[in-house]
Amino acid sequence: MDLNLTGKTAIVTGSSRGVGRDIALTLAKEGANIVLHYNKSEEQAMEVAETINQRYSKCIAVRADLAKEEECRKLIKGGTEEFGDINILVNNAGVWPKNWVSDITIEEWESTFKVNLTSVFLTCQCFIKNLLKKGQQGTILNLTSQAAFHGSTTGHAHYAASKAGVVSFTVSLAREVAKNGINVNALALGIVETDMIGDALKKNRDYYVNRIPIGRVAQTEEIAQIAAFLVSEKAGYMTGATVDATGGMLMR
């Protein structure tokens, strides 16, 4: 399927590694220019940016700590200044801290919400303001988790709550901007083979795999394929949806 992304530009947060890296690479393969966002892993970000620039499309790498309001705004501003128009925003960056509710400190709670939810609000706000000002259409995809619906079973209540916020925010924003031609969807993941969950899988792989009806952990490439479809014009009739790419962990 040709996703017709040539000539479009996408910002993908947290795209130096993991799911975000493969979303950025897949969108680039489909022809989109990429604003590759990273926070700490500069070397990895530069490698991905170089691959995209050499093989597929135009890519710039932008550093921003998404726990900070001004850096969220700067990311969208920087991308817009470089490329003119940004058509696609993928909010992929996130943290998965572990602690039980009895021990979670207010600092842990707030830092989780800053990265996983507040940054999503801020980048979406900047992104839609630009589009509304120019009268342009656009697409947003926000990454969430099956834990938003099931809650956490392994000491990640703050994470699960922040990801539930992402789902609800996605629906509200979708309602607000549907008439302006801006689609906003969420993609709920189950267990994906990345650094985020690497240690947990090493310690307890069977526990996680036994919860997945398909019987295996997802690879980043197969999540990226679904994400690319969801930000393309082929999914133009979808907004306010949360698509479950969980190998059946979440069935609704």
Ligand X SMILES: NC(=O)c1ccc[n+]([C@@H]2O[C@H](COP(=O)([O-])OP(=O)(O)OC[C@H]3O[C@@H](n4cnc5c(N)ncnc54)[C@H](O)[C@@H]3O)[C@@H](O)[C@H]2O)c1
Q: Which residues are catalytic?
A: 159
Please give the sequence-ordered ranges of beta strands (E in DSSP) within the chain, or none if there are none. Answer: 9-12, 33-38, 59-63, 88-91, 138-145, 182-189, 242-245
Choose among 87, 116, 70: nearest CA to 5.
Answer: 87
Instruction: Give the nearer residue to ligand X in terms of CB position, either 56 or 208.
Output: 208
Instruction: Give the nearer residue to ligand X in terms of CB position, either 20 or 165.
Output: 20
Among positions 70, 195, 199, 233, the unique one binding ligand X when judged by CB under 6 A: 195
Taking CB positions, which residue lies at the least distance from ligand X? 18
Instruction: Give the nearer residue to ligand X in terms of CB position, either 32 or 115.
Output: 115
Contact 29, 107 (CB under 8 A): no
Among positions 115, 128, 174, 245, the unique one binding ligand X when judged by CB under 6 A: 115
Q: How far is the CB of 178 from ligand X (least distance, A)?
A: 24
Q: What is the dihedral of CA 81, 83, 86, 92, to 10 degrees?
A: -90
Burial zone of 148 (CB within 10 Å; 0-12 exposed, 13-18 middle, 19+ buried): buried
Residue 89 engages ligand X in binding (rule: CB under 6 A): no
Q: How far is the CB of 21 from ligand X (least distance, A)?
A: 8
Residue recorded with tokens 């706000």: 125
Residue 93 engages ligand X in binding (rule: CB under 6 A): yes
Among positions 3, 196, 231, 245, the unique one binding ligand X when judged by CB under 6 A: 196
Q: How far is the CB of 191 from ligand X (least distance, A)?
A: 4
How many C-beta atoms lie closer than 10 Å to residue 15's C-beta?
A: 31
- The 3-state DSSP class for residue 240 equals coil
Site string for ligand X, 28-47 (x = CB under 6 A): ----------xxx-------
Q: How far is the CB of 201 from ligand X (least distance, A)?
A: 9
Residue 145 engages ligand X in binding (rule: CB under 6 A): yes
Residue 17 engages ligand X in binding (rule: CB under 6 A): yes
Contact 92, 19 (CB under 8 A): yes
CA angle (38, 3, 217) in 5-degree steps: 55
Q: Which residues bind ligand X (CB under 6 A)?
A: 14, 16-20, 38-40, 65-67, 92-96, 115, 143, 145, 189, 191-192, 194-197
